[in-house]
Chains A and B, each alone.
Chain A
């Protein structure tokens, strides 16, 4: 019970507390250990003394003290500990947040450190998920579809490099901001996506991760009001988030965009997303996030699925493909082409993408083709594609959706064997 309360406290406040500890203690490892110490002390004291009035504040203060204790202990063991201890700010500086660029968010500082170009992209995402979002190594491994030992080793190496190479813990100065931004945007979007479609497990959505990504996106646009792509990313996330309620039905089943109850879409988020995108577009500096936000805005603007402006969406995917020439974007472009009225051309394009080989085990390729086959009345082909899609996803909610579609094509096929 108490352990559960601590776990949810960690989910909610762990990233913020950890970010502060990392800055004050000057070490990722020490900060994590200090936070663990504080949780252990909570398990020991709270049942006896009762819950403190403000549990996150209690954890922050106790973790800071535990970190100092560990440093004092290290000072006896290593001379380095003494130097680090001497360089630490006092507790009275604990709330001094005006150190960089007038933006005093610890997590923003942390994300620029995590996304430093001297770290490999996979290490950037892993560190961000670990330290900004408070995910455990096991959860990250599951999210990135890799063995836990691989994730753990990457974390150890990245933290060691930050310490050994003195990667600074700060929001970079103005002249470096722009070139550092792309990596930061990519990591924030990755965090959002992890919350929007968890890659494995029972839970399809992790709203806490989406909320965290949105918060970071808002901070970033406040920090860099002239960066169109930062606004583009925020707009994109807001427009996705606006559909969250409608994406799962009462049984927790995934509802495809076409079948969502549009009245459940959040009008405030749509208005904020569309407004943010409009502001970004005035900067006349288009980029992939703005284009994807524009696509999401067209979906949001359609009063019903049939009224979707697929021609314009197909054109936007064409533009996106020029910025991001990847098979996944190509797959989306092919689906949009099919939906805009050129069904056969779209299916032929998907066949070419599959023949390319990089997406042949990607469940969404098979699911997309299955849906197009179904629309075209090609039920046998649709069944085969739904079955292949099922072979390649472990997400329980996505599996249920695919299973339902498969059943529908079977029933329809039985009712109309002539087609």
Chain B
């Protein structure tokens, strides 16, 4: 079963961290990613640029509307993600709990459906 682990956190809190704290957090992420890869569960993942760089697209009446910013203003922003493949939700929860940002922000676990329409090439 594949799960997307969505990493939510307060960007302002992130921006306010000292260089030493940032280095420490990044090192923790590297260690986590390596452990995930070594277990064979890692299928993909990335840090995302801040919400200030986000663009939202809608098509209405055949017209493409692109607007600045995310779909919804929230206190916590999507800052990165991992795609993992593990046997069940408990295994996904165990990995999510080890993501360094889980102690400040939150991790949303979303199972993929069996419907592969989105990934057909």
Query: Do B89 and A166 touch across chains, with their CB atoms under 8 A apart?
Result: yes
CA distance A116 to B73 in the complex (A): 31
Q: Which residues of A contact B89 (CB under 8 A)?
A: 116, 118, 165-168
B19 contact set on A, CB distance < 8 A: none
B94 (CB) vs chain A CBs: closest residue: A176
Give the residue name and chain of the B residue nearest to A180 (CB): B90
Instruction: Name the A residues within 8 Å of B1 (CB-CB).
Output: 166
User: Which residues of A in the span 63-94 have a Cβ within 8 Å of any Cβ on B?
Assistant: 80
Q: Who on chain B is nearest to A78 by CB?
A: B114
> Please, which residues of chain B bring their CB within 8 A of the CB of A80?
114
Residues of B in contact, count (CB < 8 Å) = 10
Closest to A172 in B: B90
Which of A116, A166, A168, A172 has the largest count of B CB atoms less than 10 A from its CB? A166
Interface presence of B53 (CB below 8 A)? no
Mark interface residues in B70-113 (1 if CB within 8 Å of A CB, else 0).
00000000000000000111100100000000000000010101
CB pair A167 B114 closer than 8 Å: no
**Binary interface encoding of chain A residues 133-170 relative to chain B, with 1 for a CB under 8 A from any of its CBs, else 0:** 00000000000000000000000000000001111100
Residue in chain B with minimal CB distance to A117:
B93
Of chain A, the residue at the smallest CB distance from B91 is: A168
Q: Is B88 a contact of A168 with CB atoms below 8 Å?
A: yes
Bound Cα distance A116, B114 (Å):
22
* A262 smallest CB distance to B (angstroms): 47
Q: In the complex, A358→B88 CA distance in Å?
A: 40
Contact of A166 with B111 in the complex, beta carbons under 8 Å? yes
Determine if B111 and A176 form an interchain contact, defined as CB atoms under 8 angstroms apart: no
Q: Whole-angstrom distance between the alpha carbons of A115 and B87 in the complex?
A: 19
Contact of A164 with B88 in the complex, beta carbons under 8 Å: no
Residue of A with least CB distance to B110: A165
* Residues of chain B contacted by A164 (CB below 8 angstroms): 111, 113
Chain A residues whose CB sits within 8 angstroms of the CB of B111 once the complex forms: 164-166
Which chain A positions have C-beta within 8 A of B88? Answer: 166-168
User: CA A165 – CA B87 in complex, angstroms?
Assistant: 10
Residues of A within 8 A of B90 (CB): 167-168, 172, 176
In Å, the complex CA distance between A167 and B113 comes to 14
Contacts of B109 on A, CB cut-off 8 Å?
Answer: 165
Report Cα–Cα, A76/B95, bound state, in Å. 37
Give min CB distance, A361 to chain B, whole Å: 36
CA distance A176 to B87 in the complex (A): 16
Most chain-A CB neighbours within 10 Å: which of B87, B109, B113, B114? B114
Q: How far in angstroms is the closest Cβ of chain A from B117?
A: 14
Chain B positions within 8 Å of A, measured between CB atoms, are 1, 87-90, 93, 109, 111, 113-114
Query: What are 8 A-B pairs at a CB distance below 8 A?
Result: A118-B89, A164-B111, A166-B1, A166-B111, A167-B89, A168-B88, A168-B89, A168-B90
Known: A118-B93, A167-B90. 14 other contacts (CB 8 A): A116-B89, A164-B113, A165-B89, A165-B111, A166-B1, A166-B87, A166-B88, A166-B111, A167-B88, A167-B89, A168-B87, A168-B88, A168-B90, A172-B90
Q: What 4 pairs between A and B have smallest CB-CB spacing? A: A168-B88, A166-B1, A166-B88, A165-B111
